[in-house]
Structure 1
């Protein structure tokens, strides 16, 4: 079972706009986005006059070297939920990884486009931990452990 991956997959009402947000606020890279083809639009019974370029069939981006996938919700408006969390965990002994994690947290928190739930700082157990919630309700957890 070592060939099994767990891949974060987010759904948005407007993925095209969400990708711009994540580029600006989180500094995500390697953004890829594919609009539905005319055939896919017909198969999903989309309105014939809809601008397909504004829709996203599938997309992805990279953050701290990890892939996140996403797409538009074609089944109705998605419900914003802070019950969805994505956690980055690094070893504090890996100074490069710990520095990257701290830089990402600082960038995101300083943007004022997220809600800081827990400030990323050293806790009583010696680990560093923090949480933010983005404008789409996704909780991002920053965890640096000994």
Structure 2
């Protein structure tokens, strides 16, 4: 394989809201956003403003996002977790503080037996984020 797998997150009509949230958390950029209304194939009118495809990028963090075509067809939760390898103790603390504000802490930020600082937080959109900083 050329590079690691890219996570793809699918939402039930709130992908734009989720992308705005991730911009606040990670201070990254939404790139290549296209709505169903901009696509060159026919979809129901109520889909026009929903995200057909978008990409999110912040340094090495990269994932793709879309809305489901039908309401409530996506089951969010424990079926996906995204691991963020942080560069410093300050960075992991920053992301942890931002995520826990509106999220649900599954594992408090703490020193681990594997020589890292680690936390697990589920965000308001049902996505679980594993934050890891391997200490020197």
After TM superposition, is the score higher than 0.5? yes
Match of 2:63 among 47, 57, 68: 68
Mark the runs of 5 or more structure 2 residues left unpaired by the alignment: none
Is this contact kept in 1: 2:12–2:70, CA < 8 A? Answer: no
**Are residues 1:137 and 2:136 paired?**
no
Note the 1:1-146 alignment, pairs <5 A: 1=1, 3-14=2-13, 15-24=15-24, 26-32=25-31, 33-36=33-36, 37=38, 39-40=40-41, 42=42, 46-47=43-44, 49-50=45-46, 52=48, 54-63=49-58, 65-77=60-72, 78-90=74-86, 97-98=87-88, 99-109=90-100, 112-146=101-135
Structure 1 pair 141/64, CA: closer, same or farther in 2 (3 Å)?
Answer: farther
Given the superposition, is the C-alpha separation of residues 85 and 50 from structure 1 closer, same or farther in structure 2, using an over 3 Å criterion? Answer: same
- CA separation in 2, counterparts of 1:138 and 1:50? 25
* Alpha-carbon distance in structure 2 between the residues aligned to 1:38 and 1:62: 22
- Relative to the length of structure 1, the TM-score reads 0.76
In the alignment, the residues of structure 2 paired with residue 88 and residue 75 of structure 1 have an alpha-carbon distance, to the nearest angstrom, of 30
- How far 1:38 sits from its partner (Å)? 5.3
How many pairs does the alignment contain?
130
CA distance in 2, matches of 1:108, 1:87: 13
- The unaligned stretches of length 5 or more in structure 1 are 91-96
TM-score for the superposition, normalised by structure 2: 0.81
Structure with max Cα Rg = 1
Within 1, Cα distance between the matches of 2:39 and 2:115?
A: 54
**Cα contact 1:29–1:62 (8 A) shared by 2:** yes
Higher strand share: 2
